[in-house]
A = this chain, B = another copy of it.
Amino acid sequence: MSNKISDERKKEIIGGFYELSKQNGLENTSIAKIGKHLGMPPSLIMHYFPTREILISNLISFILEQMLMIYQPMLEELEIQNYADPHTFVDRLFSRDWNLLLDDGVFYSCFSLIFRNKRIKDEYRVLHEKLRENLKAILDRDETLHGKDTELLAEQIFVVVEGAYYYLSMFDDPEVYEEKVTIFKNQVYDLLRKYEVQHL
């Protein structure tokens, strides 16, 4: 029911903003450049996003929505089988799938804004809590983990995943990269195993 043209244009603009930020960096992407890229005057962009701050705020919402998409295939599986293998999900977290959804450079540029903007910080925190809650939901359906503190386990798994993402982004050599991925993946498997074993 809501205004269709308006919504489409907004999506288009945020998409262009994201694309250019990916190429040239967030700090080098001006409203004029977005306009040129999309073939529209800067004034049209400012019609939909009255200030640059609002524009950035919307880019961040877009980015955080993208992040949640890592669960997309998992949720379908959950619906069909009422179960999803935690190990498979961990593999997925460490695969390149996430990079396909979201550019790391843009992500960390936006992340660095949390330190001077409380609203952005809150938005990031909520996203990270959602990521953990979703993992907890997956863990809760695994019977080997029944009765365990899956909230704690999800927290511990994700802190390794996030540390790994951060650290691995410094390595270009695919061989070294894969070697390190294996280490961190095993580190998470150990956590899962530790919880499973306590059950016996």
A-to-B contact residues, CB < 8 Å: 24-27, 103-105, 108-109, 111-116, 121, 124-125, 128, 152, 155-156, 158-164, 166-167, 169-172, 180, 183-184, 187, 190, 194
Nearest CB to that of A159 among chain B residues? B163
Chain B residues with Cβ under 8 A from A155's Cβ? 180, 183
How often does this chain occur in the complex, in copies? 2
A158-B169 in contact given A105-B116, A108-B111, A112-B112 (Cβ < 8 Å):
no
Q: How far is the CA of A103 from the CA of B184 in the complex (A)?
A: 27
The prevalent SS among residues of A at the interface is helix
Sorted nearest first, the 7 A-B pairs with minimum C-beta distance are: A163-B163, A105-B115, A159-B163, A125-B170, A108-B112, A162-B163, A27-B27
Contacts A115-B104, A116-B105, A160-B159; A166 near B166 (Cβ below 8 A): yes
Partner of A156, one of B27, B124, B166, B183: B183
Contact call B169/A114, Cβ cutoff below 8 A: yes
Q: Are B158 and A163 within 8 A (Cβ)?
A: yes
**B115 touching A108, Cβ below 8 Å:** yes
Inter-chain contacts of A164 with B (CB < 8 A): 159, 163
Residue from A121, A163, A184, A194 having most chain B Cβ neighbours under 10 A = A163
Given contacts A108-B111, A112-B111, A116-B25, contact A159 B170 (CB under 8 A): no
Task: List the B side residues contacting A184 at CB < 8 Å.
Answer: 156, 159
Write the chain B residue with the least CB distance to A105: B115
The distance from the CB of A116 to the nearest CB of chain B, in whole angstroms, is: 6
Residue of B nearest to A176 (CB): B125
Q: Which residues of B contact A152 (CB under 8 A)?
A: 183
